[in-house]
Amino acid sequence: MKTLNKIQFAKKWINDLLENKKIKKQSIISFNFKRLDKYFSKELLEVSDVILCDKIPVLPLEKLGLKRLKKEKDIDFIGMTYDDCFFIKENQKKNESLFFHELVHILQWKYLGIDNFLLLYAIELEKNGYRENFFEEMAYYLQEKFDNNEIFNAEKIVQKELKKFMKNLKIDLP
């Protein structure tokens, strides 16, 4: 399958998933966390959604030809972001730190656009694996700062870091 077809497959899979689960979507702002609005705009919190579930749906990476990740497909994820919505396990619904982490991914999707995010995340996964890829490193780094009660504008930092990342790749942001 050619790269463009793989991206189209991934987008269709994600769109179908979100459409099939839309009845379960809840606004992030409805969880009434005390600290998220110190890091993210009210607008982002209002338009971003979460779906609580027992098992996190994972894009079938093997169909995309990502060979390195066969071992990672069996990871029991507690959260996963697709566009402006993330899935978390039901038992994590009070985990503000996890919500923070997934909101960083929502920003990555937002700033890069779906096609660029899917392509670049796949390249990073194949090159560096799950935990060491650029997008996860950023989310975990900022999550650690959040957990240490450091105050910062997460949206500005994500945007700035993505610009640097894209500049290093010699790609202009949309």
Complete DSSP assignment for 74-86: G---SEEEETTEE
> What percentage of the chain carries pLDDT values higher than 90?
74
**Residue 166: left (phi > 0), alpha (psi -120 to 50), or beta?**
alpha
Q: What is the pLDDT of residues 75-127, one digit of tens each?
A: 789 999 999 999 999 999 999 999 999 999 999 999 999 999 999 998 898 88
Supply the DSSP symbol for 87. E
Tokens at 109, concatenated = 């999707």
Which residues, in sequence order, are bridge partners of residue 80? 87
- For the whole model, what pTM was predicted? 0.93
